[in-house]
Structure 1
């Protein structure tokens, strides 16, 4: 190992922060085993031998969307046989079907619907919360939130307060995609901006609402764009401390306008996870989202810095199955999740949305 890499590795091992240029050198120059060692050390300093999971399900109210992102396999126009737009009664029925099953989280995301306003989403949360008062409602990407709140003519804080009063307790990390404005303009030109995404999360953090963060990687971006993305998240976390977890999301190429791009390898997935853990020294949890990676890669990911594998899901999300994920009907029991963690030599811990251990 050359002296520069050795110096950077020593900084990571001693718990010191690395700069963007050092991250770039490490990402490009370090062998996979070294990234794994460094990321695992950082992970163990935060969560020891614990790996978290939860009992959750998704509600995806619609796949109609005002935006038409080139990487998206989920969106369908009105009238398409694969389009859906659930009524409030259908959403209630999904919630009722999961009552009494020990669910601790309802995850609600969907397309940015052209016709639904803030009142509609407030009512949706109220109804879901009335059926499942014991479950945390984690709802809406920053892009959905920005659109509905702007349409209502409210400030971000005012809109988020209304949603929180209805029962929204946390915000997922979707919609971040890639923060580099030039790459973003090529893959999702009409979508909400990087500045919008960051502003929604900063406003949520000011109100005490915890959120997650994501990146969409493995398409036309370079390593330098990934580091820039991580750097902007790290800077926001320095200011607010409001991010609970970071979730790297792999671009899947089935059924979208960027299919010719192809998909990156499992080795690249592991490098992405490891570098996320190494660089994001102030975000406590890194999630290997098993629905996206599949169960075998998820187990591998636990040696590369991940300390969370998401939840039971119960076949309630189509975002990745429509993009060609291996598991077209994603569901795992708590026992299966514990087995994956045990096989990795680690200890499975059930959590709630806010990482309280159950």
Structure 2
């Protein structure tokens, strides 16, 4: 192979964009095997092992069309259909069948501008109150969205700017196949002869207008209709030029022509599989690793491996309800069978929404607010459709469908065969087990684990947990006191904080004085608590002395109680109001009785995310600064992450790496606590700006990946029964977690967000969660010292926690336990 060809393929594989001439050179000279190998590597780099599909219904609004393409059986004449257009009732009946079958998308297929050719179409539109097919389409798309919740994807053909603008408010996405940029195909005898809407310039103009209006578009080419390979490349390059200018081509379809009886091209030769694979590979090289490239699986039954190896990352729309109206002879594959065949070739089938995942993650940019909200609420952190109905904090146990991936894990564990895991994922797990720092891409890969790879990540985390801290499930008897919900900050995710006069959401504004806080602490001590956790809003009248007063009151009422209090935000507020450096103020708090800090206010330690959810709060560097200084003066802390709102897995990776880096310097974190976002009463969610919390898979994986990434520096991974519920917490205990947190008397922050798991959990309930995993329950102190038990195996409480010790010595102690 010439050096120039090798160099170009290496450049593409490493993420470089190829010039037009270079693309043509590869198309003419590169061996097929080299093209396919490069395209597959690029696809795996851009999309991992995931292969998307959209579960949809096809609504053939009209089969009348003014064009007469030589290969089409969809378009027909008025005398061959019961009516020119589907009625509203017929449209809704199809849509409702789709909802019943679990679809997210309503794909409107239709002919182009039949009213310009058929009087029957004009009369039917007039009776429906419209003068254009596109006007009626807009009404029906809005009706389907309003009445069924399905998200419309519309394929009306060529459009002017006003028509695109008309359809945009009720369309999650739009589509128009370029098919080919070759004007030669529009000449006499060609497949597009006398098809004015198939003139390449007209179709490219529609795509250009959509780009100018910021509308996400699906497009692509149809191969095998008489074009040459060079013309295919020219078509792909014409699309790339538009995408470079506007960034609006969400996916490229490479569809193979199928000869159909009764058409002009009934006897034409269909493209061979190698020819199709070559074109897919060239499309990948033209558009790069990130573009979503699809081919319809029903047009290549039994030949899907070749399409995957060529660069496909998506199978497009598949309907469990309606046939493929454009290719009615080609039945859709059963989705379970497609998943199995996809898995057979080392990939994972994943349900997506009408927008491909990368566009869902930027939904606010691409679609109107109501549709962006609907997309976000149905999406997971990667932009795919949520695969389960589990919601953090609701108190509703996971459904059988949500538990299915973990049930399969049990079956896999009973087998002697090793799970098929990709080499990069296996390498990342091995590095984590060795205690080495992982890279951001490695961590994102761990979070992307599905199927057998999910099992591998969970198993590795559980192994590390067993080796590091043993079998016991620990917990602390504690009391949560949220002394005020009045806060001068306006974090978008928070349903707890109120203004002075607030009376909305979950209760009015309040403030407990120091005596009330002390009384609650004393009550908790008498009930066996060894820790009091105090946090509140940033009250505008609080100063640094306010926090010192709370410490003094609790210390006087319960001298032996461990005081775990004040987030880094409160620490900064207290120091600023007294004009003290952070170090001096933390020393004053320590000397007044503060023993440890909660790791809250961290949310996501990435300022890109913080700008969206808590712009007026402390930034990442400020949070880390408070923690580092606290550790240096002998105050240890927890570390948390609040996930499942607007962030992506790469932000999770950055957060974990920031925590690990600080722990490597100070050794001051006692535990890491994943906190799934509870969305129900969140202002940001109500405004349509956040997802509906993490999926069950994401929540469990967060515990597993944290165990791997933070090993061996942070030995304790806590799962929140308040957020996860009993069943979810048990799953996390089998995925790297070793701690159930506290009994949390008076817990109120999660309840303010809409949580329903209660204010407290008795020891017996926690023991039942541990026992469901075959593990014993052990009471601990805040600093993870084991507390003694009586003869009946019950914890002895009411005593003083052991004295503080050097945090680095504590890590060594925990790691050897």
User: Shared topology, TM-score over 0.5?
Assistant: yes
In the alignment, the residues of structure 2 paired with residue 115 and residue 311 of structure 1 have an alpha-carbon distance, to the nearest angstrom, of 30
- C-alpha contact (below 8 Å) 2:484/2:510 kept by paired residues: yes
In the alignment, the residues of structure 1 paired with residue 490 and residue 534 of structure 2 have an alpha-carbon distance, to the nearest angstrom, of 20
Which aligned pairs between 1:110-189 and structure 2 lie closer than 5 A? 110-189=536-615
- C-alpha contact (below 8 Å) 2:604/2:655 kept by paired residues: yes
Greater RCO, CA 8 A, separation 6+: 1
1:331 pairs with 2:781: no
In the alignment, the residues of structure 2 paired with residue 165 and residue 15 of structure 1 have an alpha-carbon distance, to the nearest angstrom, of 35
Quote the offset at 1:294 in angstroms: 1.2
Quote the offset at 1:166 in angstroms: 1.1
Quote the offset at 1:5 in angstroms: 2.0
- C-alpha contact (below 8 Å) 1:50/1:348 kept by paired residues: yes
State the TM-score, normalizing by the size of structure 1: 0.96
Q: Any idea what SS the aligned residue of 1:254 has?
A: coil
Name which of 783, 788, 797 aligns with 1:354: 783
1:10 pairs with 2:430: yes
Unaligned 5+ residue runs, structure 1? none
Q: Any idea what SS the aligned residue of 2:749 has?
A: coil
Partner of 2:162: none
1:300 pairs with 2:731: yes
Q: Which has the larger radius of gyration?
A: 2
1:319 pairs with 2:745: no
Partner of 2:476: 54
In the alignment, the residues of structure 1 paired with residue 436 and residue 500 of structure 2 have an alpha-carbon distance, to the nearest angstrom, of 51
Quote the offset at 1:99 in angstroms: 3.4
In the alignment, the residues of structure 1 paired with residue 672 and residue 683 of structure 2 have an alpha-carbon distance, to the nearest angstrom, of 26
Partner of 2:254: none
Partner of 1:19: 439
Which aligned pairs between 1:258-277 and structure 2 lie closer than 5 A? 258-259=684-685, 260=688, 261-277=691-707
Name which of 664, 670, 673 aligns with 1:238: 664
Q: Any idea what SS the aligned residue of 2:563 has?
A: strand
- C-alpha contact (below 8 Å) 1:123/1:166 kept by paired residues: no
Quote the offset at 1:29 in angstroms: 3.9
Quote the offset at 1:234 in angstroms: 0.5
Quote the offset at 1:267 in angstroms: 1.2
Quote the offset at 1:97 in angstroms: 2.2
In the alignment, the residues of structure 2 paired with residue 221 and residue 330 of structure 1 have an alpha-carbon distance, to the nearest angstrom, of 28
In the alignment, the residues of structure 1 paired with residue 433 and residue 532 of structure 2 have an alpha-carbon distance, to the nearest angstrom, of 37
Distance 1:183 1:15, change over 3 A: closer
- C-alpha contact (below 8 Å) 2:429/2:708 kept by paired residues: no
Q: Any idea what SS the aligned residue of 2:693 has?
A: coil
In the alignment, the residues of structure 2 paired with residue 99 and residue 11 of structure 1 have an alpha-carbon distance, to the nearest angstrom, of 44
Relative to structure 2, which stretch is displaced further, 17-26 or 154-163? 17-26
Kindly provide the CA deviation profile for residues 305-330 of structure 1, in whole angstroms up to 9, marking residues without a partner as x.
Answer: 1111111112x111101112231x32
Kindly provide the CA deviation profile for residues 151-199 of structure 1, in whole angstroms up to 9, marking residues without a partner as x.
Answer: 1111111101111111110101100011111211111110111111100
Distance 1:215 1:4, change over 3 A: same
- C-alpha contact (below 8 Å) 2:447/2:698 kept by paired residues: no
- C-alpha contact (below 8 Å) 1:250/1:292 kept by paired residues: yes
In the alignment, the residues of structure 2 paired with residue 176 and residue 312 of structure 1 have an alpha-carbon distance, to the nearest angstrom, of 22
Root mean square deviation, CA, Å: 1.4
Partner of 2:716: 285
Quote the offset at 1:258 in angstroms: 1.8
In the alignment, the residues of structure 1 paired with residue 621 and residue 430 of structure 2 have an alpha-carbon distance, to the nearest angstrom, of 34
Across the two proteins, how many residue pairs are aligned to each other?
A: 356
Q: Any idea what SS the aligned residue of 1:98 has?
A: helix
In the alignment, the residues of structure 2 paired with residue 196 and residue 13 of structure 1 have an alpha-carbon distance, to the nearest angstrom, of 31
Quote the offset at 1:274 in angstroms: 0.7
In the alignment, the residues of structure 2 paired with residue 207 and residue 16 of structure 1 have an alpha-carbon distance, to the nearest angstrom, of 28
Partner of 2:626: 200
Kindly provide the CA deviation profile for residues 316-351 of structure 1, in whole angstroms up to 9, marking residues without a partner as x.
Answer: 111101112231x32111122122112111121110
Quote the offset at 1:16 in angstroms: 4.2
Distance 1:44 1:16, change over 3 A: farther
In the alignment, the residues of structure 1 paired with residue 532 and residue 449 of structure 2 have an alpha-carbon distance, to the nearest angstrom, of 41
Relative to structure 2, which stretch is displaced further, 30-39 or 152-161? 30-39
In the alignment, the residues of structure 2 paired with residue 144 and residue 178 of structure 1 have an alpha-carbon distance, to the nearest angstrom, of 17
In the alignment, the residues of structure 2 paired with residue 166 and residue 355 of structure 1 have an alpha-carbon distance, to the nearest angstrom, of 22
- C-alpha contact (below 8 Å) 1:15/1:42 kept by paired residues: no
Quote the offset at 1:280 in angstroms: 0.9
- C-alpha contact (below 8 Å) 2:747/2:760 kept by paired residues: no
